[in-house]
Amino acid sequence: MSTLILSAMASDSDALAKITNGDPIAITFFIGYMAMLASAVFFFVERGSVDPKWRISLLVSGLITGIAAVHYYYMRDFYLATGQSPTAFRYVDWTLTVPLMCVEFYLLTKPFGAKTATLTKLILASLLMLVTGFIGETSGVENNVMWGVISTLGYLYIVYEVFAGDVAKLAKDSNSEALSRAMFLLKIFITLGWSIYPIGYMVLPGNLLSGMFEVSSIDLFYNVADAINKIGFGLVIYSVAIAETAKAK
């Protein structure tokens, strides 16, 4: 028993050393976990300060960051224990949180006439993007370009909806300054913030950007992008909810 305890203590000490001695990937896993957790608590607490029709939006924002916090806790431990990228954990996280981010587009425009069909198309596009991306990343070098192209089609459809599809038209016709401002920011997240994911995918061996930089550094970019995109997404939703609540009063 004492041997097991000493072994566990040594393992914990090694893991802590990675964080405190400047391993940037370990640091971003740790900060990402804390930031996502704090954001989830904030969104859940702030639900009571907005009009009832916006509370589901903040609930979803809290779920997105809360789910991410749980996964970052396990991804951090996996990385500290193995030094390897937690690909499976990450894709489980994305498969749960990215469709919820698409739900946010629907909830934002629902008060202005969004239809369930739009939500269905967004969720299906996000699942296509993620499932084919995971297959491409785990099925071998010879397949990752083909699956990456299919995954990109799902991403491009989401971009289309936000820039020119039903979501964009509803936002334009809403006459809501807060919604228009939020959609502008969300477009930036979709085009710039989300672009890090396909770029990271294309750096994999055998892909279009292979050798551009170390594959081991992809987790660093993913961690930073996740924190910015998920927390930022929620803060944009929160700003609309607060503004529309004030207008209603």
CA 236/CA 178 separation, integer angstroms: 10
| Long-range interactions of 181-190: CB distance < 8 A, separation 24+ | 181/239, 181/240, 182/108, 182/236, 182/237, 182/239, 182/240, 183/108, 185/232, 185/236, 186/105, 186/162, 186/233, 186/236, 187/162, 187/163, 189/228, 189/229, 189/232, 189/233, 189/236, 190/158, 190/159, 190/162
Which pLDDT belongs to residue 21? Answer: 62
In Å, what is the CA distance from 150 to each residue of 87, 107, 146, 236?
Answer: 19, 27, 7, 29
Which pLDDT belongs to residue 198? Answer: 83
Which pLDDT belongs to residue 20? Answer: 53
Which pLDDT belongs to residue 109? Answer: 85
**CATH match for 22-248 among 1.20.1070.10, 1.10.443.10, 3.40.50.170, 1.10.10.10:** 1.20.1070.10
Which pLDDT belongs to residue 221? Answer: 86
Which pLDDT belongs to residue 7? Answer: 42
CA 39/CA 59 separation, integer angstroms: 12
Which pLDDT belongs to residue 175? Answer: 80
CA 165/CA 41 separation, integer angstroms: 33
Residue with the two structure tokens 């028993």: 1
Residue with the two structure tokens 């970052």: 72
> What values do phi and psi take at 159, rounded to 5?
-60, -45
Which pLDDT belongs to residue 18? Answer: 57
- What SS3 class is residue 202? helix
CA 16/CA 24 separation, integer angstroms: 13
User: Amino acid identity of 13?
Assistant: S
CB 106 within 8 A of CB 114: yes
Which pLDDT belongs to residue 67? Answer: 97
Extract the residue ranges of the chain whose pLDDT is less than 70.
1-21
